[in-house]
Amino acid sequence: MNTLNEKPYTVRDSMDKNLFEVGALVFGSLIPWNEDWYWSGTPQIFGDITEKTLQGRKEAFIKKFSDIVYRYNHQLAEKASKAVDLQYHKFMEYHNDDFVIYPDGLSMAADYQKDIRSQWECKPKEEIAKVMEKFKLKAPSPSLSFPDDLIENDRGVGVYFNQDEGQEIMTGFNFMVSGFKKKGIGLTKDEEEGIRSFIISEMVSPKFVSRLIQEYSYESVGTAFLIWGGHGQSHLNYLLRRYKGAYYRNRYPRIALI
């Protein structure tokens, strides 16, 4: 029984002896072959555990590896998608756009905290009290933390809300914007490197790239990658497929439900 989606799996094994006991928790990977399931690698066996321990492990796994869980638990995936969609509309209401540029990381963090605080202030007191009790909060709004390299960044921060997955944040955005604005002519070394890192980064979706090109045009992408000619869109499609191929497969929200 898969504890994440509560569905049964019949797993075939070449071993004559059964390695598992009823009630044991097994952590491992399954692969399909000819309509059967097989273990991939050696599974870990934790033995018989209490229901409380099992629930704790499930919650921890959902928080840490939510993108894996959503592959198997479609109800959770749908719930996460609705949560992302709600956050997207709140982002649009606050910024009136899905793409925002801040001068530095500190400005981004301050604005983000202001947005979250205003959202909490609009909620009924009873709902706030329940959340504070559930997560043991000392203040009527969540305490937010940001990575030091984001807070200390002073070269511009770009924030794009991908409606399918969630927010995407990239630092060093000033070089990219100035490079895109030049439309392929007279780019500096920093501008070229900024655009290349933007295209190559696995953390940046094709939608984020398309949003910037919609804003500034695509000529500078060709210059940064030494691609010449008048087929900008086909060149861009090639680069996106090459460096961001994972985004053209099944994708899941970048949000962990708690």
Residues 44-97 pLDDT 10s:
888 778 888 888 888 888 888 888 889 888 888 999 999 999 999 999 999 999
| Nearest partner of 155 among 168, 180, 174, judged by Cα | 174
Q: What is the dihedral of CA 89, 93, 97, 100, to 10 degrees?
A: -100
- pLDDT given for residue 28 in this prediction: 85
Where do we find the tokens 């497969």? 249
- Two tokens at 21? 């006991």
* Contact (Cβ atoms closer than 8 angstroms) between residue 156 and residue 178: no
Instruction: Write down the domain spans for the chain.
Output: 11-64, 77-104+153-248
Residue 202 near residue 215 (C-beta atoms within 8 A): no
Average pLDDT over residues 190-207: 93
SS3 (DSSP) at 160: strand
The residue-averaged pLDDT of 193-198 equals 93
Residues 6+ apart with CB under 8 A from 70: 76, 77, 80, 252, 253
Q: Which of 171, 168, 170, 144 is nearest to 255 (CA)?
A: 168
H and E: helices and strands count for the chain: 11, 6
